[in-house]
């Protein structure tokens, strides 16, 4: 049995993770961690340090907030606890620094997106990028999402830039109409990224490629938070065999 602690257990994603772990035969929720959480069949602690002092778990799953996740990992990793992290907003440098604090045999697994469809969307975008002079990313999320652009959009833009190895001719961010700054999106590694925040969405993304006389759109939609759960469970099952920093669900997809 893999013993799991869910950090952010009172949040939208945390609650879904608790349900998914409960439903799996090979793992159990030992405790939750959330300053706004109430006991729900397991103990809920206000912070990671208190959880480590009072409960015994193998894996910490973190779906919290961009401003607290690094602090949570800075406590869990040196204690030798494998971490499965979905909270977005961590830079590669921060992830590398945190992973370096863990003893050998401890894994920090971060996935900017736990859906298999979004991973495939990024792989298709990587394949298409060298053949199209222009590429833009449009992401759509629920109105309560705290960060923009999304971690998936940032990662997709980085992949496109690395894969194509040339600069766009219509780079974006120009402000020729006063008061309309931002109309061409934020530039991430030279790729314009547009963030829509609205009721009605969970998480969607479209990558639009343009060339002479043709365009290609690759789109992925998460309509429900259960779409992330097979990826989260795969991460929980995989980290025990791994060590160091692993970024991206594709590393565990056969």
Interface pick for ligand NAD out of 87, 106, 204, 205 (rule CB under 6 A): 87
Stretch in the footprint of ligand NAD (CB under 6 A) among 100-108, 109-117, 163-171, 183-191? 109-117
Decide if 145 is catalytic: yes
Nearer to ligand NAD, 38 or 180 (CB): 38
CB of 226 to ligand NAD, least distance (A): 11
Closest CB to ligand NAD among residues 168, 236:
236
Burial class (CB in 10 A: 0-12, 13-18, 19+), 74: middle
Find the binding residues for ligand NAD in span 12-31 (CB under 6 A): 12-14
Of the two residues 106 and 222, which places its CB atom closer to ligand NAD in the complex?
A: 222
Among 51, 112, 193, 235, binds ligand NAD (CB under 6 A): 112
Exactly one of 15, 141, 194, 220 is catalytic; which is it?
Answer: 141
Q: How far is the CB of 193 from ligand NAD (least distance, A)?
A: 15
Q: Contacting ligand NAD (CB under 6 A), which of 63, 109, 209, 252? A: 63
Which positions lie near ligand NAD, rule CB under 6 A? 7-8, 10-14, 33-36, 47, 63-66, 68, 72, 86-88, 111-114, 145, 228
């Amino acid at each position: 049995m893999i013993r799991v602690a869910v950090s952010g257990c009172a949040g939208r994603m945390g609650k879904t993770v608790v349900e998914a772990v409960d439903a799996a035969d090979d793992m159990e929720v030992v405790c939750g961690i959330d300053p706004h959480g109430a006991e729900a069949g397991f103990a809920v602690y206000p912070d990671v340090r208190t959880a480590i002092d009072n409960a015994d778990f193998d894996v910490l799953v973190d779906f919290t907030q961009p401003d607290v996740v690094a602090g949570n990992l800075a406590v869990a990793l040196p204690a030798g606890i494998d971490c499965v992290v979905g909270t977005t907003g961590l830079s590669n440098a921060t992830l590398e620094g945190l992973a370096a604090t863990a003893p050998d045999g401890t894994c920090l697994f971060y996935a900017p997106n736990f859906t298999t469809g979004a991973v495939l969307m990024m792989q298709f975008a990587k394949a298409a990028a060298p053949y199209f002079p222009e590429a833009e990313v449009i992401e759509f999320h629920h109105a309560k999402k705290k960060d923009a652009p999304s971690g998936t959009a940032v990662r997709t833009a980085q992949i496109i830039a690395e894969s194509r190895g040339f600069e766009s001719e219509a780079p974006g961010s120009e402000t020729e109409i006063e008061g309309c700054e931002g109309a061409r999106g934020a530039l991430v590694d030279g790729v314009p990224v547009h963030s829509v925040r609205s009721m009605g969405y969970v998480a969607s993304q479209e990558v639009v490629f343009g060339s002479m006389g043709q365009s290609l759109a690759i789109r992925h939609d998460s309509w429900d938070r259960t779409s992330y759960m097979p990826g989260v469970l795969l991460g929980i099952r995989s980290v025990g065999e791994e060590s160091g920093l692993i970024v991206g669900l594709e590393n565990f997809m056969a």
